[in-house]
Structure 1
Amino acid sequence: MAQSLTDEEMLILKTGAFGAVFLVSNADPGVLAMFRESFAASGAIADASGLVKAALSSGPLPRLPRDSQSQVESVVLPALRQAITILTEKAPEDVAIYRSVVLAAADRTARAHNGISTAEAQVIERIAAALGDPAA
């Protein structure tokens, strides 16, 4: 049975998930693309269930660095790894849900505007690796 998450743990899950979307969106930036990508990602996040949905849909939004892609990655990729560790310990049945939601959001973000670019595909690979995705 899943244990409840602290506010800090929920923020880590959100930082990883929303940060992954931000990384993909910034990999191939554009103003029109940003709107399409945000809408596409929100659909994937809305599809979450259980503890993952509760964590991603409540509380404040995470604060991410905005200076460079590498700075964002230095926050987001560790948050994704921490999120998997937290869920493995407290709600192992939700690990696959979290991975699936984050990867779906990243994929939908990349596909939302002119398909997946090389830069977006590379970011998605790093996200999948941070999540410990066996397909990565």
Structure 2
Amino acid sequence: MQRLTDEEKLTLKTGAFGAVFMVSNAEPGVLAVFRESFAASGALADASGVVKEALTSGPLPKLPRDSALEVESVVLPALGRAIEILTEKAPQDVPIYRAVVLAAADRTAQAHHGVSPAEADVIERIKGVLDAAG
């Protein structure tokens, strides 16, 4: 297993945190965002190994805040790149990253009155990128 560079860690973090941000943006609501980010942090805490190190250290990713489309254009490629990085440097952690990202996205959606169709759609797009990469 090779160590990840700071840039690679930030890519993993951008994908994971961005996925949560995409889901919480699917059904906007100021109060909901607090509940959702709290729910997602529980899933991120379940990470281990390289994935945990990447998601819990270093700076927070800077995500665009202007439009959902802009967020997706940053987050979905970051998720794909994160899988490529892990496949190359820590292949045993690929399933951990996939599981953590999907659990965080799912917990975020569940946190506010269950999963809405818009949230389910976003989660499917995230899952599609994670499954296609690697």
TM-score using structure 2 length = 0.97
Answering whether residue 55 of structure 2 is matched by residue 38 of structure 1, we say no
- Could you report, residue by residue, the CA deviation over 1:57-87 in whole angstroms, capped at 9, with x for unpaired residues? 0000000000000000000000000000000
Q: Specify which structure has the higher proportion of helix.
A: 2
Answering whether residue 120 of structure 2 is matched by residue 110 of structure 1, we say no
| C-alpha distance in structure 2 between counterparts of 1:116 and 1:55, whole Å | 28
- Could you report, residue by residue, the CA deviation over 1:35-54 in whole angstroms, capped at 9, with x for unpaired residues? 11010000000110010000
Task: Specify the alignment match of 2:91 in structure 1.
Answer: 92
Unaligned 5+ runs, structure 1: none
- Could you report, residue by residue, the CA deviation over 1:81-116 in whole angstroms, capped at 9, with x for unpaired residues? 000000000000000000000000000000001000
Aligned length: 133
| C-alpha distance in structure 2 between counterparts of 1:109 and 1:70, whole Å | 19
What does 1:38-77 correspond to in 2, within 5 Å? 38-77=37-76
- Letter matched to residue 70 of structure 1: L
Q: Percent identity?
A: 77
Unaligned 5+ runs, structure 2: none
- Letter matched to residue 78 of structure 2: A
Q: Alignment RMSD, CA only?
A: 1.1
